[in-house]
Amino acid sequence: MFKKKSAFLALSFVMLTSSLVACSSKNNNGESASPSPSASASSSSQASTTPENAEKPLKFSLFYSDNATLPFKEDWLVVQEVEKRFNVDIDFEVIPIADYQTKVSLALNTGNNAPDVILYQSTKGENASLALNGAIVPISDYSDWTPNFNAKVAEFGLEKDLADLNLKDGKRYYLPSLFDKPFYDGGLILRQDLLAKYGLQAPKTFDDLYNVLKKFKAENPDSYPLTILAGPRVLYRMTMPSFGISVGKNGADGSRTLSWDYEKQTYFPGAISDQYKEYMKFFSKLYAEGLLDPEMADPIDGDKWSTKLATGKSFASYAYYDQIGGVEGAATEAGFDLQMFPPLEGPAGAHHQQKSRTGAGVMFPKKTADRADFEQLVKKIDEIFFSEEGSKIWGLGAEGVTYTMDGDKIKYADEIVNSPNGIYKTMQLNYGAGSDVTQLVWVNAREMTKYDENYSQINATVAAMKDPIQAIPPTPMFDDMTAEEAASLQTPLYDTFEVWADGFLTGKKSLDKDWDKYVKEMQMLQIDRFTQMYNDNLKK
């Protein structure tokens, strides 16, 4: 484990030394290497449009979280275009998403095999402790080196959102992804043609969903009507808020076992709450009655998931809208029609997964500050991901290849528009554009051009609902000692939660007979102390 005090002092010395080295170094033209932010932005822009002037590319290594539904390809257009335009040579280490946090944690804890840059990270959970112990560069100390990021924050009005990401020491340790507006990108997806065939209304509550699935099962006894993409974590994060909780691997606050009471503005131990018991009771009933795909307990890859829906093995799922086109393109049944529906109403109302206008982003391990060209690297990362030019490449691909401009309107290439996968998925799979690992600037109006009119109408319906997408709960302001203690409590609590959650869902454990034993075990692991720590350290 990283030793906090000595390591912190060492990091401070290293970063001070690196800063001095960087400030006194000369660039290839013999000029000062510490321009003002505005001068930096100007010179960076010039360099990006005239790569032939660069003598050699800037090389750096990078952790990339790989999702089975969008497997990374180093020959993606966006990767090649970024490397060419910004004159960089990126060594991607592609890590499966299921192993990603473990790999990141190991690299940050030990400092061994850490890359120069880590994508898709925040300071929720263990990373807060690691940051305060000096394992991560406090990037807010280098604000002058991130002019493009600063400009987007100001353009989107995210100053307060950004301040909320600061830790106890008042510093921020990553460059988050930025959204001008949140949008409803995924939820319940099911066969609308079968609703019409069986004379059913679109579900509005979870009880409605149960009745729909029962009818689907009765008509198709060999099926498992509801399947889930990529395992329980997708189901949990999209449905738990309607039951008043958000726990597990993708819990909104990062604690994994706590939840936020929006009325009382406090944390409570969601993993052992009555709300969670009610939630598991509902989904274990689906599982027991053969309405929920038993294979969802393990991650289901995208191809297998798509085949289940396209071939009538399943009829409903929780997934993202952009995946509908691919399933419909593979379906052979006449009249096959998938539709996405607004959040269903549960005991706590109708809610989707909580969202923030900031998301996971770029983090620099402490050893990166040892690089003599650390300043150049930070400026280059800022330019690649947050400049107008860079952000458009990650989101839209290359102008003249994937799209052209007709005035202020985006026109996608015919092969993309006419693809059976639809614009969004084709842009992702074929060109790498629109990956939430690398696209760090999200402009709602621009994103909507990738979808059809139907999607815009769904978003309008959801926007008219009462608070369907709640805000991400506040992050506690732990000092380094408290963060370290919280991290030591979090791991065994989450490990135990995971084992019991699988048991309750699949019926290996009984919610009636074994619940008290589970609660007692979580209390022995100090979930109440963990909760108190979160509440005691909320920002004042």
What is the per-residue pLDDT for 238? 95
**What is the pLDDT confidence band of residue 330, given thresholds at 50, 70 and 90?**
confident
In this predicted structure, the answer to whether residue 10 has a pLDDT above a threshold of 70 is no
Residue found by looking up tokens 């391990």 in the block:
365
Q: Tell me if the pTM is above 0.85.
A: no
Q: Quick one: what percent of the chain has pLDDT higher than 90?
A: 64
Residues 314 and 265 in one domain: yes
Q: Are residues 132 and 207 in the same domain?
A: no
pLDDT digits (tens, 9 = 90+) for 165-196: 998 889 999 999 999 877 788 899 999 999 99
User: Regarding beta strands 58-66 and 345-346, do their DSSP bridges make them parallel or antiparallel, or are they unpaired?
Assistant: unpaired
**Residue 49 confidence class, pLDDT cut points 50, 70, 90:** very low
**Average model confidence (pLDDT) for the chain?**
87
Q: Residue 302: pLDDT above 80?
A: no
402 and 388 in one domain?
Answer: yes
Q: Does any domain span residue 153?
A: yes
pLDDT tens readout for residues 212-226:
999 999 999 999 999
Q: Which residue has the higher pLDDT, 14 or 400?
A: 400
* Position 112 in a domain: yes
> According to the model, what pLDDT value does residue 220 have?
96
Domain of residue 341: give its range.
186-354+471-537
Give the number of other CB atoms < 10 A from CB of residue 250.
Answer: 17
Residues with Cβ within 8 Å of 17's Cβ and at least 6 positions away in sequence, in order, are none
User: pLDDT-based confidence at 27, cuts 50/70/90?
Assistant: very low
3-state secondary structure labels for all residues of 331-346: CCCCCCCEEEECCCEE
pLDDT tops 70 at residue 443: yes
| CA 57 and chain centroid, separation | 30
Cα–chain-centroid distance for residue 189? 20
Of 328-332, 428-432, 533-537, the least confident: 328-332
Which one has a higher pLDDT value, 31 or 263? Answer: 263
Residues 313 and 414 in one domain: no
pLDDT tens digits, 111-140: 888 999 999 999 977 898 899 889 999 999
Q: Do 182 and 469 contact (CB within 8 A), yes or no?
A: yes
The residue type at 3? K
Please check whether residues 236 and 318 belong to one and the same domain: yes
Q: Which of 427, 385, 373 is nearest to 403 (CA)?
A: 427
Instruction: Report yes or no on 159 lying in a domain.
Output: yes
In this structure, are residues 431 and 394 in contact, taking their beta carbons and an 8 Å threshold? no
- pLDDT reported for residue 52: 52
Closest CA to 316 of 469, 200, 478, 473: 200
The answer to whether residues 316 and 340 belong to one domain is yes
Confidence of residue 299 (pLDDT cuts 50, 70, 90): low
Average pLDDT over residues 45-62: 68
Instruction: Report the distance separating Cα 334 and Cα 328, nearest Å.
Output: 10
Q: Are residues 94 and 207 in the same domain?
A: no
- Say if residue 373 is in the same domain as residue 383: yes
Q: CATH number for the domain including 532?
A: 3.40.190.10
Q: Within this chain, do residues 132 and 164 fall inside the same structural domain, yes or no? A: yes
352 vs 168 pLDDT, higher one: 352
pLDDT at 300: 64
What average pLDDT does range 200-206 have in this prediction? Answer: 97
For residues 398 and 108, what is the distance between their CA atoms, to the nearest angstrom? 34
Find the helix or strand (DSSP H, E) in which 536 lies. Answer: helix 527-536
The answer to whether position 50 is within a domain reads no
Residues 512-540, mean pLDDT to the nearest whole number: 94
Q: Is the pLDDT of residue 524 over 80?
A: yes
The H or E element that residue 176 is part of is strand 175-179
Q: Counting beta carbons within 10 angstroms of the beta carbon of residue 375, is it exposed (0 to 12), middle (13 to 18) or buried (19 or more)?
A: buried
What is the β-pairing status of strands 403-406 and 358-363?
Answer: unpaired
Average confidence (pLDDT) over 499-524: 96
Domain count, the chain: 2
Whether 2 is covered by a domain: the verdict is no
DSSP 460-505: HHHHTSSS-EEEPPPPP---HHHHHHHHHHHHHHHHHHHHHHHHHH
Residue 297 has a pLDDT of 66
Within this chain, do residues 332 and 207 fall inside the same structural domain, yes or no?
Answer: yes
Measured between alpha carbons, how far is 538 from 536 in angstroms, rounded to an integer? 6
Q: Does pLDDT of 535 surpass 90? A: yes
What pLDDT band is residue 332 in, cutting at 50, 70 and 90?
A: confident
433, 395 contact by CB (below 8 A): yes
Residue 47 has pLDDT above 60, yes or no: no
pLDDT, one tens digit per residue, over 82-115 is 999 999 999 999 999 989 999 999 999 998 889 9
Which residue, of 424, 442, 460, is where some domain finishes?
Answer: 442
Q: Is residue 342 one of the residues assigned to a domain?
A: yes
Mean pLDDT of 456-467: 84
Residue 472: its pLDDT value, please? 86
Query: What pLDDT, on the 0 to 100 scale, is given for residue 54?
Result: 53
> Is 404 found in the same domain as 288?
no
Question: How far apart (Å, rounded) are the C-alpha atoms in residues 474 and 166?
Answer: 11
Q: Is pLDDT larger for residue 79 or for residue 1?
A: 79
How much is the pLDDT for 445? 82
Q: Are both 209 and 321 inside the same structural domain? A: yes
pLDDT band at residue 23 under the 50/70/90 scheme: very low
Over residues 500-514, the mean pLDDT reads 96
Read off the pLDDT of each residue in 375-386 and give the average, rounded to a whole number. 98
- Does 44 fall in a domain? no
- The strand pairing partners of 92, in sequence order, are 62
* pLDDT band (50, 70, 90) for residue 18: very low
Residue 21 located in a structural domain:
no
Of 426, 442, 458, the residue at which a domain comes to its end is 442
